[in-house]
Chain A
Amino acid sequence: MNSAGEDWEEAAAEAVREASRQGRAVSAAEVLEALAARGFDVTSPDAGEKAEAALRAHAGLACFAGADGAARYHDPALLSATYAGIMDRKASPTLLMAEEIRANSREYPRPVPVELFEAEPFGLTPEQIGDALRAMAENPAFEDIAFTATSTGAVYLFSSRSLEPGYAKFLAEHAQNLAMNP
């Protein structure tokens, strides 16, 4: 407990919730910073481990591996895993785009229009998108990322791990035609 009588574990969970309300998933280190600011003693050598264990055990919280490999915590009732992942990867447009393309191809399944990444919450500029696509083309780690174009010239991106090129092309054309098939 801190001097205000707050429970350490509940305060840690509240720190995660507060970040979730702001649209961010947080690491255990960030949670410890928040706890320190609230007067908790977080100087013990095992404070990090203790925080990780408490957050993982909390029924209302979820975690995922962040872009840097460290665990990120969020309250899914306030911040979806999808959105949290996007925000976590925003510092790396290449990774951001690749993971989103893969998730869409895997889960729905569908290719995504390239202009999706210009809109919020991605918020990339056309230049950033172009750079990211070039970087992916040159890096074997992203060799599954491919594109297809519709008959009207719209460009859609997909992952060949989950979508065959022919089917991706069909789905792109279908998506493009939705507005003319009311």
Chain B
Amino acid sequence: MASATGGFAGKVLRVDLSTGAVSTESTVERYLDVLGGTGIGYRVLWDEVPAGTGAFDPANKIVFATGVLAGTGVPCNGRTAVTTIFPTCWPKPLVGSGHMGGQFAAKLKYAGYDALIVEGKADRPVWISIRNSQVQIRDARGLWGEGIRRATLEISREMGGECAVAAIGQAGEKLAPMAIVANSVSHSAGGVGGVMGSKNLKAVAVQGDGAVRLAGDKGEWERLVKFHLSILGGNNQHVVPSFPTPQSEYYNPGSRWVGEPGRRWGAAEPPVEITGNIRDLNRIAYRTNSAAFYLGANAWQYTVRGNGCTGCPIRCHTIVKVPSVAAKYGVGEMGQNTCAGLLFGRGFFRKLAAGDKSHTSLEACMLGMHLADDLGLWCNYGQLQRDLIKLYYDGTLKAKLGAKEYDSIPWDKYESGDPAFLLDMIPRIANRQGELGAVLSQGTAGLFTAWSITERDWSQDKETAYWKMGHPKHHANEDDGQCGVIINTQYNRDAQCHSHVNFVRNGLPLAVQKRLAAETWGSPEAVDAVGDYTPANVYKARRAKWALIRKELHDSLGLCNWMGPWVASPLKERDYGGDDSLESKFFSLATGLKTNREELDRMGERIFVLHRALTQRDMGEPDLRSRHDTVPDWVFKDANGAAPFSKGTTRMDREDIAKAMDLFYEVMDWDRATGAPTMEAYARLGLQDVGRRMQALKLTPGTRG
């Protein structure tokens, strides 16, 4: 069966660490209806992990799953979803997933597997060796206590330099909920490292020598890949460059497309100057320089090159080399990461003397990357850093920590903005040292449970960016009004959805965005200018649904939702339109299973609703609307008292958000009163078994009196 369907590697690998049993099952026979990635993860948890299972219970399972398009030539593939009962979710653990890029996904496919399900708990530290069909559980006692880099190096020495190693650091070993698993130096999935640690699983290493078979016409495939390349922008699908060029009608100083002719990768040996036409498809990798975007133009001189995932031309993990940092702090001179990982160190400081784009800022980023990506500490999308800032400056830490512990922390360095502070703080948290380490390593949940801080203290303070359930906002009203709010209500961790923000931040003029919105979601009213929001309408609700479904689709196809979807493009000749059917076209060609946008979106919706059902089942809560889909108070405030819908505020209106949720539930075919999927919705999506179970649990609308 598997051989008849392209795209899929064919098998799902299952390793029981309690018994040592290794088995496989057919991906297509068992999981075709949920595609891969989070789809497989949710399905495994639904079928096999009972409600009430704790994140660190041996009964919890951790699913590393990629998708049909991973390991192919599709741009922006290379993603692995790591789905499990998520340990930082408060007040009780619920389903969640971390997502990593790098080379792991492709290697897993080339070894013959679409997913790896790890269950049980080993009686000693182990690592899993996957070399094609040879799967072994190996002794990791010699690696336990080592950081991610050392573990990766030691395993790579044995497996070969071409393998991909996904390892945890000391944070995961010590069962810190705030722990990552990382592969390919800097590609991490947050929140799941402790689950691996709880299973005594230090690492998973994969070497695969196979290939991904494409079922469709190869010429058509190549043409589609080339077309996809032509509609790519820079990182986050910013489709206009940050600078005016002869080739561009539009530009945006805030764009992540910062690579312009004349810039140099100054630390490359020899240095590389960007030349030629910025539209050249063979030069897309020059467009993105995350270090320069986040740290300013000075970062060009430290840039070695871009790094990134298999098959991705964007290369958003910029490698920087700063020998002076190595000399000053005794750390490695090279660093690489993007976004929150790149900002890990800088984020701890309320203010740096010379600003966010100073050399001090660069030093803080270098130290943060070096420490966190080795110790395996997660930032919870910057919440860890914001929590520390608030706790320190409002006096909580002084009150909660004993004097001896408090005085042992170099607060003078912290206040003066000295990056050396990180040499103390990051290991302290990752190693769970003292009261501070024990609490902060639990994430914001730790503050609520250990220190009796109320969630309300956080949800009223905009500076925390806290949203709910122990996690922060992720592109909410500050970027996209009601659409952002709806999206942020839906998950059990930060939403990690970029479908919507990649569109509103794409850099095109508002009139062009509105035209594209009308074409895609039915009305120009589906999108507003930032901070000039209009009341909720059904088109915004449709766009929120589209954004969520595409996120799940990308996570289940092995594509990057940090880059897609591709409804906009840099191409004037296409009126700046992209192709909203790209995913289904690739899926059809890869698998040989002909589908279209609507049908594939229905599969994405099925996966999303499965997440919804799993959340509701494990909460045991019929009313998700008021108990889960919550919005923090700060969303309804403005520091200057500006009214909702006045220009220049992101303040939302409570009644309008209630209406937005009404509209969203309607377009989802969910019950308006409770936000619970209806039996009709389950049936429409082919989830009758899930619906029946939810009905039996009295968790479908109308089943409780």
Residue ranges of A at the interface with B (Cβ–Cβ < 8 Å)? 20, 23, 76, 78-84, 86, 107-110, 112-113, 116, 119-121, 152, 164, 166-167, 169-171, 174-175, 178-182
Contacts and interface: CB of A to CB of B under 8 A. Distances in A.
Contacts of B356: 152, 179-180
B330 interface: no
B253 A175 contact: yes
B546 interface: no
Nearest to B255: A178
B262 interface: yes
A179 B244 contact: no
B509 A179 contact: no
Contact of A107 (B254, B340, B511): B511
A79 B249 CA distance: 9
Contacts of B530: 171, 174
Interface in B240-255: 243-254
B31 interface: no
A120 B260 contact: yes
Contact of A167 (B250, B253, B531): B531
The 10 closest A-B pairs by CB, nearest first: A170-B648, A182-B339, A167-B647, A167-B648, A107-B509, A80-B249, A166-B648, A83-B246, A79-B246, A170-B531
Contacts of B475: 181
A79 B293 CA distance: 26
Interface in B161-201: none
Given A174-B531, A180-B343, A182-B343, A81 B249 contact: yes
Nearest to A177: B478
A122 to B, nearest CB: 8
B423 interface: no
Interface of B is mostly: loop
B380 interface: no
Contacts of B253: 112-113, 116, 175
Nearest to B507: A108
B406 interface: no
Contacts of A76: 249, 572
Contacts of A23: 246
Given A80-B247, A152-B355, 16 more contacts: A78-B246, A80-B248, A80-B249, A82-B250, A83-B245, A108-B510, A109-B529, A121-B245, A164-B647, A170-B648, A170-B649, A171-B530, A171-B648, A181-B479, A182-B294, A182-B343
A138 B253 CA distance: 28
A86 B510 CA distance: 21
B575 interface: no
B355 to A, nearest CB: 7
15 contacts: A23-B246, A80-B246, A81-B249, A83-B244, A83-B248, A108-B510, A113-B253, A152-B355, A152-B356, A166-B647, A167-B532, A171-B530, A179-B294, A181-B479, A182-B339
Contacts of B532: 167
A153 to B, nearest CB: 9
Contact of B249 (A82, A112, A167): A82
A152 B355 CA distance: 8
B294 to A, nearest CB: 5
B245 A181 contact: no
B569 to A, nearest CB: 16
